[in-house]
Amino acid sequence: GGSQTAKELGLYEALTAQDTEVHSHSVTPGDFKQDPDIYICSANGLSETGEVVNIDGSCNRVAGTLFGPKRCIFICGINKLCPDLQSAIERARSIAAPRNAQRLHRKTPCAVDGKCHDCRSPERICRALVVHMAPPSRMDKCEIVLIGEPLGF
C-alpha cells in the first residue's frame, strides 16, 4: 500500500533487491494486485486498546487490509500510537489526512491550513475510514510492527 513509512524505511528497494515480486501503487501508479501473499502498509492511527485506523481516498489501500491477501503487515512509527480509538481516529483525520492531501497537492481546505474541515471537496482524500478491531477472519495472519521512532504521517 502507499505508505510514507515504508518509503522512509526504503522497504520497496530492500524487497526488490532480493528478487521478491513486489507490486506498489505508490511506485508504479495503478499497480495493484488484489490477492498478494503479503500486503504491507502502514496505519494512520493505532490505539493502545488494539484498533488500527486508516483513511483512504481511492480505497485500494484499505481494501488490501480487509480482503484478498493471506497476510497483512502494518508497519508503523511510534508517532501513530494513541491512547484510545477516538484519539486514533482524530489523529487520522487531523494529522495524517491533511498531510497526505498536502503531499498529493490536493485542492482541499485541509491541504491549505493543515486542519480537517470534514469537507465535501471533489479532491477529498477522506472517502473511507476503516477501523480494524481484530484481524479479518479469512487472513492467515495480520500483525503490527511498531517501530520505536516517528515515521510517516
What digits encode the pLDDT tens for the residues 27-80? 666 666 677 888 999 999 999 999 999 999 988 889 889 998 899 999 999 999
Distance CA 123, CA 121 (A): 5
Cβ atoms of residues 91 and 83 within 8 Å: no
At 30 the pLDDT is 62
Q: Quick one: average pLDDT of 132-140?
A: 92
At 16 the pLDDT is 79
Cβ atoms of residues 65 and 1 within 8 Å: yes
At 58 the pLDDT is 86
Distance CA 15, CA 19 (A): 7
Q: Quick one: average pLDDT of 11-16?
A: 82
pLDDT category of residue 15 using cuts at 50, 70 and 90: confident
**Model confidence, pTM:** 0.86
At 31 the pLDDT is 61
Q: Backbone phi, then psi, for 51, in 5-degree steps? A: -85, 150
46: Cβ contacts below 8 Å, ≥ 6 apart: 52, 53, 74, 76, 80, 81, 82, 88, 144, 146
What pLDDT digit, counting tens, does each position of 69-125 carry? 899 999 999 999 999 999 999 999 999 999 999 999 999 999 999 999 999 999 999
Q: Where are the domains of the chain?
A: 4-85+131-147
Q: Quick one: average pLDDT of 143-148?
A: 96
For the chain, report the end-to-end CA distance as a whole number of angstroms. Answer: 14
pLDDT category of residue 133 using cuts at 50, 70 and 90: very high
